[in-house]
């Protein structure tokens, strides 16, 4: 069952494996999720080279607004350490206070932050070094890019799509 959990197999599909009853499988999945959440809370804040970005998830478009102001979307903020570790969590709004609260909680002072040119990141210079990436200038040069977090958003959205996420 652990292997199927890691593969992302939902509980209702476990019935084909017939390892345990559905209630037992649901309880097992819930316990694994609780253990993972507890381990995440114990993890130390990131330090070093970090990429920060925000994205929206969910909310199918039904003729209304597009982009950041669209109804039914959940704002998610993420930090990627350049070694591949990711921390992503929902935020209440796309504003400076929400973003900086997460950055203060999930990263150490003195880190090197790579962000896009959104104005909310302007005060990151007070916490450490800050490199602003201008996306419209073409291909990134050297290590000055935020491709890690952008790639994570693409992967996460594709992985969550079957679950209506």
The predicted pLDDT at position 50 comes to: 93
Residues of the chain with CATH 3.30.420.10: 49-163
Nearest to 87 by CA among 145, 131, 42: 42
pLDDT in tens, 81-101: 988 889 999 999 889 999 999
d(CA 52, CA 78): 6
Task: Name the architecture of domain 49-163.
Answer: 2-Layer Sandwich (3.30)
Mark the ranges of the chain whose per-residue pLDDT is less than 70: 18, 59-71, 136-143, 162-165
d(CA 5, CA 32): 9
pTM: 0.77
pLDDT in tens, 143-161: 677 788 888 888 888 877 7
d(CA 27, CA 37): 15
């Amino acid at each position: 069952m652990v292997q199927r959990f890691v593969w992302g197999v939902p509980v209702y599909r476990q019935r084909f494996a017939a390892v345990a009853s559905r209630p037992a499988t649901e309880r097992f999945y819930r316990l694994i999720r609780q253990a993972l959440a507890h381990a995440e809370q114990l993890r130390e804040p990131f330090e070093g080279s970090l990429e920060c970005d925000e994205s929206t998830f969910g909310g199918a478009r039904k003729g209304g607004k597009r982009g950041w102001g669209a109804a039914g979307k959940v704002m998610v903020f993420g930090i990627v350490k350049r070694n591949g570790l990711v921390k992503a969590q929902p935020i209440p709004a796309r504003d400076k206070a929400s973003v900086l609260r997460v950055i203060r909680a999930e990263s150490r002072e003195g880190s090197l932050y790579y962000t896009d040119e959104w104005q909310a990141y302007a005060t990151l210079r007070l916490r450490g070094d800050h490199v602003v990436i201008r996306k419209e200038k073409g291909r990134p040069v050297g290590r000055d890019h935020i491709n890690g977090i952008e790639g994570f958003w693409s992967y996460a959205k594709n992985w969550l799509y079957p679950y209506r996420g």
